[in-house]
Amino acid sequence: MSASVSALLNNPIFVGLYRLAGEGDPVVTTVGALTGESAQSAEAVSGAAGAGSVLVILDRIDVGEWRFDALLRRTAATGCRVLAVHSTAAEDANLSLLADRLGLVVLGVSDPWQFSVDLRDLLSNSRAVMADAVLRATHAGQRAGGSVENLLSVLLNTFQRSFILLDASGRPLTGADLLSDADRAAAGMLSGRGAPTTVELDSGGVLIACPVMSGAAREPWLAVLLPVRQSVEEASLSVVLDVASLAAGHRLAVARMVDEREARRRSALLGELIDTSADATPGLLRRALDAGWALDGWHIGIKVLAVGEVDLVARRSEVADALAAEGIDANVVEQADGWAAWTTLPGEPRPESITRIAESIRAAQARLEPTMETWVGVGRAHDGPAGIGASLSEAGDAARLAGSRSQTGRFLHVDRLGLAQLLLAWTRTDTFQPAAAALLAPLRDSNGELLETLSTYLDEESSLAHTATRMGLHRNTVSSRIDRIQRLLSVDLADPETRLALHLACRTIAP
């Protein structure tokens, strides 16, 4: 086995090891050791040191006297490039100049005897190192508590390396976020690899990872980050991950069973509450209160539709955290197509308060965007236990409609839809759809830009500035298009009834 000087300096086994003098990063494969007295003999130094070796001086030596300079020259003459001495001195400029001239790296160590033994074991007895690593990983798994977080903490204390749980994209699930954006992109290459695997990072270090078999749809990875490449520690940590991933998988499987049971309980409870509406029994109301759900007050429903394959149980906490980060204290319940959530206010909210809440929910959706596509709808405020179901129903309609409204960021709030929301069911009938297509037919010959501009303009409540911002256009461009639309359709968009008819027509023919 071999190891570079930088790898030794970064290895937590070698407590108190530091670079005393000399540049470079030579690789070592063997260890030689001498007492300070023996090191005064050129013959002894020649026998203990050579190319690829580390010469360790076992007792204290004064690095400032002339005999140490002579030792440096005798060591360099053997081809040895690394000398380790018992020292706690600070780096000396004169010593550094001599070491650089001789091509030597001088390491300071607090306990040269222990350093010599540990380094010899590391370089020459890889099987013993592996066996010791497996034994310590097994004991760590036995000592750790029932959570993955506790397991990672025990592994950190045992191996002096930070362990993290990642998804296949490199996003940390548990443990400190130790990766830069560039390193996280490299870690995203984990998907499809075997185990354990090593990924070289842009930062110069390596990420060693092993999949964790927990029964999840997309298995997470247990990983450890090394700041520099070092083959010996890489090999030992690979077997550590093999063992620790089993312990992590067991904990995740148990936690998953608990999470799924709680998800079924929440979903069933919400279903009963919605179905019974105003006729909820005292027992049902008590169970809802026991779950921490406030029933009195005014409720604003939120529907988050998940697009694509999403683990709804595992990612519920992300939705709750995103809402909480924007100041929304919400109950979040898993459903077949996403999540139902609602926030409760003690009194009837004023319109400006509702607007602020909707904006915060929209900001929460933006927090989810990097890792999950969603369609989000927000209902109106309704009071009492029955108000939860009423607002969630509206939020569900708005979320489904949001899916076809890229102009609004796949987000809709029922209060902003007004009368159009009440007439939405009618706009989907066979009677209205042909009429809507005929009404907007003059705009079809503009490569879709006029139709898109009209739809966005009406969604943004006839605001030229907001429409321009949404579409990434200059305000004058939007104004010109609106004028052209009015001429082509022979309409006046200042008329509320005309705007309503066109708004419904745009929603009807939206793809």
CATH of the domain at 198: 3.30.450.40
Mean pLDDT computed over 484-491 = 90
Residue 453 placed within a domain? yes
Given phi > 0 = left and psi -120 to 50 = alpha, else beta, which region is 175?
Answer: left
Cα 292 to Cα 331: distance, rounded to the nearest angstrom:
8
| pTM confidence score | 0.56
Report the chain's mean pLDDT, rounded to a whole number. 84
Domain boundary among 124, 159, 190: 124
Mean pLDDT computed over 23-46 = 87
Cα 161 to Cα 470: distance, rounded to the nearest angstrom:
47
Tell me the backbone φ, ψ of residue 477, rounded to 5 degrees.
-65, -45
Burial of 496 (0-12, 13-18, 19+ CB in 10 A): exposed
Q: How confident is the model at residue 176 (pLDDT cuts 50, 70, 90)?
A: low
Q: Looking at per-residue confidence, does 392 or 162 come out higher?
A: 392
Residue 320 placed within a domain? yes
Q: Are residues 153 and 248 in the same domain?
A: yes
Q: Are residues 484 and 469 in the same domain?
A: yes
Q: Determine the pLDDT at residue 327.
A: 95
Q: Determine the pLDDT at residue 75.
A: 92
Q: Are residues 185 and 76 in the same domain?
A: no
Residue 358 placed within a domain? yes
Q: Are residues 132 and 224 in the same domain?
A: yes
Q: Which tens digits make up the pLDDT trace of 375-431?
A: 999 998 999 888 999 899 889 888 887 887 776 788 988 765 444 444 554 455 555
Does residue 240 register a pLDDT over 60? yes
Q: How many C-beta atoms lie closer than 10 Å to residue 149's C-beta?
A: 13
Q: Which tens digits make up the pLDDT trace of 121-150?
A: 777 756 667 777 888 888 888 888 888 889
Q: How confident is the model at residue 217 (pLDDT cuts 50, 70, 90)?
A: low
Q: Are residues 88 and 144 in the same domain?
A: no
Terminal-residue alpha carbon distance, the chain: 63
Domain count, the chain: 4
Q: Determine the pLDDT at residue 126.
A: 63
Q: Determine the pLDDT at residue 189.
A: 55
Mean pLDDT computed over 166-192 = 64
Q: Determine the pLDDT at residue 210.
A: 85
Domain boundary among 109, 124, 139: 124
Q: Are residues 130 and 249 in the same domain?
A: yes
Q: Are residues 80 and 9 in the same domain?
A: yes
Q: Are residues 304 and 319 in the same domain?
A: yes
Which residue bears the tokens 């995740």?
Answer: 252
Q: Determine the pLDDT at residue 298.
A: 95
Q: How confident is the model at residue 206 (pLDDT cuts 50, 70, 90)?
A: confident
Q: What percent of the chain has pLDDT over 90?
A: 29
- Give the domain CATH number at 440: 1.10.10.2840
Domain boundary among 98, 124, 150: 124
Q: What are the contacts of 160-164 at 24+ separation with CB within 8 A?
A: 160/12, 161/12, 161/224, 161/225, 161/226, 161/237, 162/224, 162/225, 163/222, 163/223, 163/224, 163/244, 164/222, 164/223, 164/224, 164/225
Q: Are residues 150 and 230 in the same domain?
A: yes
Q: What is the 3-state secondary structure (H, E, C) of 344-394?
A: EECCCCCHHHHHHHHHHHHHHHHHHCCCCCEEEEEEEEEECHHHHHHHHHH
Q: Are residues 376 and 363 in the same domain?
A: yes
Cα 162 to Cα 151: distance, rounded to the nearest angstrom:
11
- Give the domain CATH number at 384: 3.30.70.270
Which residue bears the tokens 């030596």?
Answer: 61
Residue 499 placed within a domain? yes
Tell me the backbone φ, ψ of residue 507, rounded to 5 degrees.
-70, -35
Q: Are residues 150 and 242 in the same domain?
A: yes
Residue-number span of the structural domain to which 301 is assigned: 294-415
Q: Looking at per-residue confidence, does 125 or 371 come out higher?
A: 371
The answer to which of 24-28, 191-195, 287-291 has the lowest mean pLDDT is 191-195
Q: Are residues 9 and 99 in the same domain?
A: yes
Q: What percent of the chain has pLDDT over 70?
A: 87
Residue 263 placed within a domain? no
Cα 221 to Cα 168: distance, rounded to the nearest angstrom:
7
